Amino acid sequence: MTTDYGADQIQVLEGLEPVRKRPGMYIGTTGPRGLHHLVYEVVDNSVDEALAGHCSHITIDLNADGSVTVTDDGRGIPTDVHSRTGKSALETVMTVLHAGGKYGGGGYKVSGGLHGVGVSVVNALSEWVQVTVWRNKKEHVQRYARGEAQGELDVKSGAGSRTGTSVSFKPDAQIFTETIEFDYTTLAGRLRELAYLNAGVDITFTDNRLDLLKSDEPKVNRYFYEGGIREYVEYINKDKQPIHPDIIYVSGEKNGVQVEAALQWCVDAYSENLMCFANNIRTVDGGTHLEGLKAVLTRTMNNFARKRNKRKDNESNLAGENIREGLTAVISVKVPEPEFEGQTKTKLGNTEVRGIVDSLIGEILSEYLDFNPSVVDSILEKAIQSFNAAEAARRARDLVRRKSVLESSTLPGKLADCSSRDPAESEIFIVEGDSAGGSAKQGRDRRFQAILPLRGKILNIEKTDDSKIYKNNEVQSLITALGLGIKGEEFDASQLRYHRICLMTDADVDGAHIRTLLLTFFYRYQRALIDQGYVYIACPPLYKLERGRKHTYCYSEQELQRGIGELPDNAKYNVQRFKGLGEMMPVQLWDTTMNPESRTLKKVEIEDAAEAERIFTVLMGDRVAPRREFIETYGPKLTMADLDI
């Protein structure tokens, strides 16, 4: 071992070497999320052209060879020689970190992008990239391999009046070792979101991977919303009953900050759904724009409550969460110099935005409510009902705190805690019934694994008010055992007792229903649990395939058939179907589902918040018609193998 530490030990990384050396610093992860961010970065550049008023159509193609092509009809990346690098502006943008038109040169008023990492990062992390630019009646083409230009810029005449940029790239399997296959649904969610956030931008998304699609025709979707975020709210609330059919819309600009907001309250919703964006980036942790929206809603609605004699002088103001009950709102701000806070850069920090949002929304909201007194009354009546329910819930909560679920861990349906008191290493398995609970308690590692069996099916939170939530025994158990806060309050991760909350239900229809009810509870009660990655789904096997003394566990019908097909021709084997976790021996449950060395846990993530919101409403809400339509649409696609008979 050497102890020398001199100048020769100081590494100097040239060009794009730092990106290939430490890709996680630039795209967060080399897993699927980072892989898809490569596409978002290229698309965001095209969207920025649209924001500047120079682009109206963007096409994204997933190609058969695993590459992606993003094409726009913008101005085209400049191709003349850059004074500082001596290379073309195109090659400079592609090969130099932090080179682009978004650093104060007047090229863009506002821009999104993946927090400014630039297309050079995409170039660095791709096996190859090919860029085509149509500009000044010429076509310019240059190819790159792992960040380095492969020859000079090739220029051809005859492009006519066409302008724009096309970027094709194939992710580098040396970097993305987990997968380099793009997920259509994940990309479609983000592209649809971008189209809603940028009214009038026409996005066409095509999947040309015919082998993967098992089809002779490409899969094509077009996202084009002239109504912008108004149509976004309309889409989210499609299966709800609105209090007011017309969506309240705000659009304005102050001190260079553009503000857009769309709001609609619904009768049949007991929670709020606020989605906020800054420069097209979804700010899941909120920030000053969300604070401004909440403040103006609370103040304005309380003013109207006094004006309309809905609250007397001796009565307290309605709380913000009461006013926002049943509200779906999308707020999008475009800030010239955005400041993002937090490790994940998902919280807007610009202090001036709070006041700008407050004043712009306050003016238009007050005007709308002045002219629509019946709407005001309906919103206020719902808010007052929420206020009264919250008071009842508070009393019920006090009972929960006095009668802690942790006092008796030996009773059926109660917590069998782990010995560790470190939440970071502790995990809890939520199981259905005493039978599964018994196997899980015997099979677990008591040091860091806790078990919480639930009796029956918990309440459907989607259509339950707060006062009923806190009176339910199973919900009480969940809230107290996990260390959850109060619905509507800011999520406090320091109070969590376990950092892995694992739903472990039977592999049958009832188990799927209970899992859905639990996910609905987490999504509606404290969605930050999911957003911050604390909720998991355990994956118990469906079958045990035995031949002689050897056995394997199969987690799907396809895996079982594959296993049978690999057996010798004499067809002597036994298949055991695990209908419930209680049928498994404790050691089997440990080996297959609970042992960190051999188990599979699926982290619950929400890539497409609007679609998640809509599906929860359809499947778990009050209205039967949308649920029937959903079943009629997707039911025929189920095969006999999907049914648990």
Task: Report pLDDT digits (tens) over 410-447.
Answer: 333 478 999 999 999 999 999 988 888 888 999 999 99
- Asked if residues 545 and 575 have their Cβ atoms less than 8 Å apart, the reply is yes
* pLDDT tens-digit map of 154-194: 999 988 999 999 999 999 999 999 899 999 999 999 999 99
Secondary structure of residue 175 in the 3-state scheme:
coil
* Distance, CA of 516 to CA of 533 (rounded, Å): 17
pLDDT for 342 equals 64
- How many whole angstroms from its chain centre is CA 635? 26
Helices 509-525/609-620 angle, 10° precision: 120
pLDDT for 615 equals 80
Residue 488 has pLDDT above 80, yes or no: no
The last residue of one of the domains, among 364, 388, 412, is 388
Q: Quick one: pLDDT band at residue 363, thresholds 50, 70, 90?
A: very high
pLDDT for 620 equals 80
Stretch 106-120: mean pLDDT, rounded? 61
Higher pLDDT pick, 469 / 212: 212
pLDDT for 171 equals 97
Same domain for 112 and 22, yes or no, is: yes
* Distance, CA of 586 to CA of 545 (rounded, Å): 18
Q: How far, in Å, are 86, 162, 242, 592 from residue 130 at the CA level?
A: 21, 18, 48, 46
Same domain for 415 and 359, yes or no, is: no
The last residue of one of the domains, among 388, 411, 441, is 388
* Residue 298, both tokens: 């609370």
Stretch 11-15: mean pLDDT, rounded? 53
Residue 570 has pLDDT above 70, yes or no: no
Q: Quick one: pLDDT band at residue 116, thresholds 50, 70, 90?
A: very low
- Asked if residues 285 and 342 have their Cβ atoms less than 8 Å apart, the reply is yes
Residue 491 domain-assigned?
Answer: yes
Same domain for 166 and 104, yes or no, is: yes
* Residue 9, both tokens: 């030990």
Q: How far, in Å, are 366, 546, 550 from residue 574 at the CA level?
A: 71, 5, 11
Stretch 487-503: mean pLDDT, rounded? 87
Contacts made by residues 408-416, CB under 8 angstroms, sequence distance 24+: 412/437, 412/453, 412/455, 413/437, 413/453, 413/454, 413/455, 413/473, 413/474, 413/477, 414/452, 414/453, 414/477, 415/450, 415/451, 415/452, 415/477, 415/481, 416/441, 416/444, 416/450, 416/451, 416/452
The candidate with the shortest Cα–Cα distance to 43, out of 188, 154, 259, is 188
Q: Please name the helix (run of DSSP H) or strand (run of DSSP E) that holds residue 94, with its range, or none.
A: helix 89-95
* Distance, CA of 604 to CA of 40 (rounded, Å): 22
pLDDT for 343 equals 54
Higher pLDDT pick, 486 / 404: 486
Same domain for 310 and 167, yes or no, is: no
- Relative to beta strand 340-341, strand 347-348 is antiparallel
Residue 142 has pLDDT above 90, yes or no: yes
* Residue 542, both tokens: 């469906």
Q: Which positions ≥6 away from 574 have C-beta within 8 Å?
A: 545, 546, 547
* Residue 279, both tokens: 């420069």
Residue 117 has pLDDT above 80, yes or no: no
pLDDT for 9 equals 43
Neighbours of 424 (CB within 10 A): 10
Residue 634 domain-assigned?
Answer: no
Residue 41 has pLDDT above 70, yes or no: yes
* pLDDT tens-digit map of 246-295: 999 999 999 999 999 999 999 988 889 999 999 998 898 899 999 999 99
pLDDT for 413 equals 47
Find the CATH number of the domain harbouring 323.
Answer: 3.30.230.10
- The share of the chain scoring above pLDDT 70, in percent, equals 88
Higher pLDDT pick, 624 / 77: 77
pLDDT for 297 equals 97
In one-letter notation, the amino acid at residue 366 is S
Q: Quick one: pLDDT band at residue 99, thresholds 50, 70, 90?
A: low
Burial of 225: CB neighbours in 10 Å, binned 0-12, 13-18, 19+: buried
pLDDT for 564 equals 87
Q: Please name the helix (run of DSSP H) or strand (run of DSSP E) that holds residue 132, with its range, or none.
A: strand 126-135
- Give the count of domains, the chain: 3
Secondary structure of residue 6 in the 3-state scheme:
coil
Residue 617 domain-assigned?
Answer: no
Residue 564 domain-assigned?
Answer: no
Same domain for 375 and 409, yes or no, is: no
Q: Which positions ≥6 away from 127 have C-beta within 8 Å?
A: 145, 146, 170, 171, 172, 173, 174
Report the chain's C-alpha Rg in angstroms.
28
Burial of 447: CB neighbours in 10 Å, binned 0-12, 13-18, 19+: exposed
Write out the catalytic residue numbers. Answer: 432, 506, 508, 510
* Distance, CA of 106 to CA of 506 (rounded, Å): 59
- DSSP 8-state class, residue 280: T
Stretch 78-85: mean pLDDT, rounded? 86
Residue 433 domain-assigned?
Answer: yes
Beta bridge partners of 167: 70, 131
Residue 54 has pLDDT above 60, yes or no: yes
pLDDT for 6 equals 46
Q: Quick one: pLDDT band at residue 384, thresholds 50, 70, 90?
A: very high
pLDDT for 11 equals 44
Q: Quick one: pLDDT band at residue 356, thresholds 50, 70, 90?
A: very high
* Distance, CA of 540 to CA of 206 (rounded, Å): 36
* Residue 202, both tokens: 């026409």
Q: Quick one: pLDDT band at residue 242, thresholds 50, 70, 90?
A: very high
Same domain for 519 and 469, yes or no, is: yes
pLDDT for 461 equals 81
Structural domain boundaries enclosing 363: 229-388
Find the CATH number of the domain harbouring 601.
Answer: 3.40.50.670
Find the CATH number of the domain harbouring 39.
Answer: 3.30.565.10
Stretch 496-512: mean pLDDT, rounded? 88
Same domain for 419 and 359, yes or no, is: no
* Distance, CA of 157 to CA of 421 (rounded, Å): 70
Stretch 350-378: mean pLDDT, rounded? 96
Top mean pLDDT of 66-80, 386-400, 488-502, 506-520 is at 66-80
pLDDT for 629 equals 77
Residue 409 has pLDDT above 50, yes or no: no
pLDDT for 406 equals 38
Top mean pLDDT of 473-477, 535-539, 627-631 is at 535-539
Residue 177 domain-assigned?
Answer: yes
Q: Which positions ≥6 away from 25 have C-beta within 8 Å?
A: 18
- The CA dihedral of 48, 50, 54, 55, to the nearest 10 degrees, is 120
Residue given tokens 């860091």 in the structure block? 448
pLDDT for 476 equals 81
* Distance, CA of 348 to CA of 394 (rounded, Å): 32
* Distance, CA of 17 to CA of 286 (rounded, Å): 34
pLDDT for 346 equals 81
Same domain for 171 and 275, yes or no, is: no
* pLDDT tens-digit map of 597-613: 989 899 998 877 777 77
Residue 14 has pLDDT above 60, yes or no: no
- The share of the chain scoring above pLDDT 90, in percent, equals 51
Q: Please name the helix (run of DSSP H) or strand (run of DSSP E) that holds residue 281, with its range, or none.
A: strand 281-282
Q: How far, in Å, are 416, 467, 526 from residue 470 at the CA level?
A: 22, 6, 14
Beta bridge partners of 347: 341
The candidate with the shortest Cα–Cα distance to 365, out of 208, 510, 259, is 259
Average pLDDT, the chain: 86
The candidate with the shortest Cα–Cα distance to 518, out of 581, 571, 453, is 453
The last residue of one of the domains, among 204, 223, 242, is 223
Same domain for 441 and 528, yes or no, is: yes
Stretch 20-49: mean pLDDT, rounded? 91
Q: Which positions ≥6 away from 389 have C-beta within 8 Å?
A: 465, 466, 467
* Residue 394, both tokens: 């508070």
pLDDT for 77 equals 92
Same domain for 150 and 183, yes or no, is: yes
Residue 362 domain-assigned?
Answer: yes
Same domain for 277 and 312, yes or no, is: yes
Same domain for 461 and 583, yes or no, is: yes
pLDDT for 10 equals 42
* Whole-prediction pTM: 0.74
* pLDDT tens-digit map of 441-457: 999 999 999 999 988 77
pLDDT for 402 equals 44
* Distance, CA of 610 to CA of 376 (rounded, Å): 26
* Distance, CA of 578 to CA of 594 (rounded, Å): 16
Q: Quick one: pLDDT band at residue 236, thresholds 50, 70, 90?
A: very high
- Asked if residues 70 and 191 have their Cβ atoms less than 8 Å apart, the reply is no
Q: Quick one: pLDDT band at residue 587, thresholds 50, 70, 90?
A: very high
Stretch 557-584: mean pLDDT, rounded? 83
Q: Quick one: pLDDT band at residue 404, thresholds 50, 70, 90?
A: very low
- Asked if residues 85 and 11 have their Cβ atoms less than 8 Å apart, the reply is no
Q: Quick one: pLDDT band at residue 641, thresholds 50, 70, 90?
A: very low
Residue 633 domain-assigned?
Answer: no
pLDDT for 26 equals 86
